[in-house]
Structure 1
């Protein structure tokens, strides 16, 4: 009998390259550590030849159906967009503690299963060849608390506006008033700023999946938005009054936060025609993230 049957952890194949051109495999637990409406999150660590070997990570698995490469690409593209926006925004923010950075997931497929995958009861067993996301583990940072700073409906964690509020407004400005980015969650490091994951967008044409609530979602964001000295002169939607229907757009799942919610993004119904740089000024900015979506297998 093959010894491969007695692996203790699930394992992925080699991932697509990160922005340093390195590929990694992930070894991840057979039981999830957190669950969101659309994904389950597993503790993991990276293996490979690059400098991130041994790094603690998470593997994100789509809950309702086996993940596809298109689903992963849509998620990665959102992060690439968020990273480009954040780099441009950070040039206006002098204090390092106010700067913003987004994680960049990798994609890979499942190669082999650990024993627990068969022993424990799951809502859905993993399939070989299904696509998953590999990402930095912000949920269990021992020195910094994972927080939802701005929810997908625009609700804010604190009373006073921060650079994150200005960043939300900045995404509306930089997109030519076509979308607004929200759902900002992650950790804050005093001397380094915010490190965030799983951004969400509401857009004029509802291009970004089920969590995209369209113009009504954009109005809801700005109804709760508080400008600060960075963004107070920037344009807002001409009508951002929120009626009862706008409030009903956001379900309990959409505003769920904390470790129990884990990952909130829906990525299985993103419009495949979206190029993710829809007439935005940042499309010609730094190319750090270019080529990330290329299949590295």
Structure 2
């Protein structure tokens, strides 16, 4: 028993942030990768813009999660990607040139997903010949999915939202530290993952710890900021940028300390959940942001 044709989406509700076009995608009936809450499928995008025919990854919420796969369920992750991309653009344009001579990195960017509703599901075939019922193994009709460019290269986890850092990616750990500094301690972009191609990083699925915990289940608020900063080892790039760290050498409890995996807000202790929701921390105060 096999699949007659790929799953297909309607034209995306959101526009591509680079070219301003809307696209639709077709993608495989079986995922090639799985996270805690989502599955990833290989496919292609189609439309009248320059991305027509290019490879993509379509991400789908797993069944039996608290997500109902409506448009609103994607909004926190979507806005986190947009916010992270804005920080990365400013860092690339204004900060990386000042680090020339210390590093070779010339660009950091985040992909921003297109959000689209499912149009048609693939069908099973009897004896490989006659199409029968829809394949609802992983998707349901009319649910929303995220469509991202396929990142060519070795996919790596560079840091997590709970304190893990890959020391071979010093510029990304400095970037996370910098986002906390220039936002007036109100945001910290982390959980950085993606591919390194020469002097450039292409990243996906960032987490943002925010003062008001607005960016979904991976946003641990000020508690997450504490965990990242307490585990962060400032390097020569942080020193060049005069980034301070009030939690250096301070022992802070980190659930699953320094593991690569993403930490979710429901994994925090009750007291930390209350502090995160209230935006209360004894280690730093909030300031007027340099970058919004």
Q: TM-score range by the shorter chain?
A: 0.7 to 0.9
- Determine helix, strand or coil for the equivalent of 2:161: coil
User: For residue 133 of structure 1, what is the aligned residue in structure 2?
Assistant: 146
TM-score, length-scaled by structure 2: 0.76
* Residue 82 in structure 1 maps to residue 84 in structure 2: yes
- Determine helix, strand or coil for the equivalent of 2:122: coil
* Residue 93 in structure 1 maps to residue 96 in structure 2: yes
- Determine helix, strand or coil for the equivalent of 1:230: helix
Distance (whole Å) between structure 2 residues aligned to residue 62 and residue 170 of structure 1: 31
Kept in 1, the 8 Å contact 2:121–2:134? The answer is no
Cα displacement string for residues 51-100 of structure 1 (whole angstroms, at most 9, x for unaligned residues):
11111101111112441111222222111111110111112112562421
Kept in 2, the 8 Å contact 1:149–1:156? The answer is yes
Superposed CA RMSD in Å reads 2.9
User: For residue 8 of structure 1, what is the aligned residue in structure 2?
Assistant: 5
Distance (whole Å) between structure 2 residues aligned to residue 240 and residue 38 of structure 1: 34
* Residue 33 in structure 1 maps to residue 32 in structure 2: yes
1:109-148 mapped onto 2 (5 Å cutoff): 109-116=117-124, 122=137, 125-138=138-151, 141=152, 144-148=153-157
TM-score, length-scaled by structure 1: 0.75
Cα displacement string for residues 5-49 of structure 1 (whole angstroms, at most 9, x for unaligned residues):
x85110000012212121111001111111111111111101111
Cα displacement string for residues 177-232 of structure 1 (whole angstroms, at most 9, x for unaligned residues):
122111000001114x1110011122343333222223332122112212233323
Distance (whole Å) between structure 2 residues aligned to residue 161 and residue 32 of structure 1: 29
Kept in 1, the 8 Å contact 2:157–2:260? The answer is no
User: For residue 42 of structure 1, what is the aligned residue in structure 2?
Assistant: 41
- Determine helix, strand or coil for the equivalent of 2:96: coil
- Determine helix, strand or coil for the equivalent of 1:52: coil
Unaligned runs of 5+ in 2: 125-131, 266-286
Which of 190, 197, 207 aligns to 2:204? It is 197
> Structure 1 residues 84 and 24 mapped into 2: Cα distance closer, same or farther (>3 Å)?
same
Count of residues in correspondence between the two structures? 250
**Structure index of larger Rg:** 2
* Residue 177 in structure 1 maps to residue 179 in structure 2: no
Higher RCO structure, 1 or 2 (CA under 8 Å, sep 6+) = 1
User: For residue 235 of structure 2, what is the aligned residue in structure 1?
Assistant: 228
Distance (whole Å) between structure 2 residues aligned to residue 219 and residue 236 of structure 1: 10
Distance (whole Å) between structure 2 residues aligned to residue 72 and residue 34 of structure 1: 19
Which of 237, 253, 260 aligns to 1:255? It is 260
Distance (whole Å) between structure 1 residues aligned to residue 60 and residue 73 of structure 2: 11
User: For residue 279 of structure 2, what is the aligned residue in structure 1?
Assistant: none
